[in-house]
Amino acid sequence: MKGPREKKKKVLAVSSGGGHWVELLRLAPAFEGHEVAFVTVDKAYRSEAPFGRFFVVNDATRWDKFKLMLLAVRVLWLILRLRPNVIVSTGAAPGYLAVRFGHLLGIRTVWIDSIANVERLSLSGRRIGPAANLWLTQWAHLARDTGPRYMGSVL
């Protein structure tokens, strides 16, 4: 919740589908009072977004380079168009790219590794976490001094 002098922030909340999307929605109360844009991979999720703007990008994996390049262009275009103050992601390819571009553009970024990653951090998390301003895991035993930090779980 914003204080009386705190300016409204532009938040770009990004995730792929499934559990990543569910976890991102669980964070939505933290975004209330700010200008939020949700970005995900399935237009059917539009009805689940509690407020704010909603954008759909294609999904991609590291095995499909063309789709990954298309996704990168779309994510970068949204960031340049929306000019967020902070980017928050719960994971996978769209979030990885958003945090990477945000880092390069000097935008504050938050990466929250999926609660499904019990044994070890996700590949995306291991690669992008060190570039995020705040890197979190939802499992205490995965936290390290060098990151990620554990501050509880989303679910």
Assign domain 10-150 to its CATH superfamily.
Answer: Glycogen Phosphorylase B; (3.40.50.2000)
Q: How much is the pLDDT for 101?
A: 98
Q: What are the tens digits of pLDDT across the range 106-153? A: 999 999 987 666 676 766 777 888 899 998 888 888 778 887 888 887
Q: Kindly report the pTM of this predicted structure.
A: 0.90
pLDDT greater than 90 at residue 6: no
pLDDT band at 83 (very low <50, low <70, confident <90, very high): very high
Element (H, E) at 71: helix 65-82
Domains of the chain, residue spans: 10-150
pLDDT greater than 80 at residue 4: no
Q: What are the tens digits of pLDDT across the range 21-80? A: 999 999 999 999 999 999 999 999 999 999 999 999 999 998 999 999 999 999 999 999
Identify which of 87, 3, 1, 77 has the alpha carbon closest to the alpha carbon of residue 37: 87
Mean pLDDT to the nearest integer, 14-24: 94
Q: How much is the pLDDT for 141?
A: 83
pLDDT greater than 80 at residue 91: yes
DSSP annotation string for 47-61: GG--SSEEEE-----
Identify which of 82, 136, 144 has the alpha carbon closest to the alpha carbon of residue 109: 136
